[in-house]
Amino acid sequence: MTQYIIKRLLISILILFLVSFLMYGLIRLLPNDYVDQKFQSQLEQGTVSEEDILAMKEQYGLDDNSLWGIIKGYFKWLGNALRGDLGMSFKYNAPVAEVISTYMWISFAISFIALILEFIIAIPLGVVSATHQYGISDYAVTVFAMMGISLPSFFLGSLLIKIFYVDLGWFPQGGLVSATNDLTGFAGAMDVAWHCVLPMVTLVILSIGGMMRYTRTNTLEVLNSDYIRTARAKGLSEHTVIYKHVFRNTMIPLVTTMAGILPSLFSGAMITEEIFALPGIGQMAYQALKAGDIPFIMGYNMFLAILTVIGTFFTDIAYMIVDPRVKLNK
């Protein structure tokens, strides 16, 4: 076990190094950097000269886009990051770590509740679909799953706003709090929750389709196993066969999805947060990406990369828990 953990740590460090270098290079190769976008209009109007632009690019470390310049810039960023300094965000004019820690909890709360609802809805529906294969419930679940998989987030979000805000007026269009009311305490909490309903519904509908299909496929595979036929031959009730023998073994392949759960909780949903004007980390990252904010983009993506590595490691541990045949000795 110890040998396995050490090996995984070393591999993880190498992966994070390669990912960070590749991301930094791609970001530096964007056609327009932060300075170009911020001062483009002033440059066209003649209020800012080319010399001023070059001086500001040098100040931000964006003056040399050659291969050697990118390499030097990367190792300068890496040295600061290893000391815990992710730099100052160009766009938000604040430390990157501070911006991430401030806005990620809004995205976490919405994503966490949506994830719980996804599991509560998708897994039982997947099991029901498999146990009633080619029945009405199976076809209904399949159609619902395909709708969730196929709908783009911007289309579904806009559709929900059209129905529940424009037509019915049941829910607010977006934001996190009502602009016309200054609510505090329980009333303020309920106001925030009311604003989060449509974004959470959007996330749940978009995510349960894949989970339902995955659960259905795994359940059908387990139902055709020899030990399930043996359990039925012993006279066990169908309820015992399904929920004691089938369900537990169905969960083994589902453990694979855990690797992506941890980063998804903190990454935010860029498009959904943008549609509903939620001040989460996803929207902040989207705005920073459009502005060419290199320190924030690097800090945000490395934060997600580290969470992904941690999630993958815990997935391997979970495999050993749910399946005693798996041994982490290499």
126 SS3 class: helix
CB 284 within 8 A of CB 99: yes
Name the 3-class secondary structure at 224.
Answer: coil
3-state secondary structure of 292: coil
Residue 329: what pLDDT? 56
CA distance 115 to 212: 13
pTM reported for the whole predicted model = 0.77
Phi and psi at 88, nearest 5°, equal -95, 135
pLDDT for residue 47: 66
For the chain, report the end-to-end CA distance as a whole number of angstroms: 8
Looking at the DSSP bridge assignments, the partners of residue 95 are 88
DSSP state of 90: T
CA separation for the pair 155, 148 (Å, rounded):
12
Q: How far are the Cα atoms of 8, 292, 311 from residue 330, in angstroms, in the given order?
A: 10, 42, 19
What CA–CA distance (Å, rounded) separates 168 from 203? 21
Q: Which residues contact 151 (CB under 8 A, 6 or more apart)?
A: 205, 206
Q: What angle do CA 287, 32, 78 make, to 5 degrees?
A: 75
Dihedrals phi, psi of 95, to nearest 5 degrees? -55, 135
Q: What per-residue confidence (pLDDT) applies to 215?
A: 82
* Average pLDDT of adjacent 10-residue blocks, the chain of 330 residues: 78 88 84 70 65 69 76 86 84 87 86 86 84 84 82 85 86 76 73 84 84 82 80 78 74 68 75 84 85 85 86 74 60
Identify the CA nearest to 252 among candidates 328, 330, 318.
318
Task: Tell me what pLDDT residue 327 has.
Answer: 60
- Check residue 272 and give its pLDDT: 84
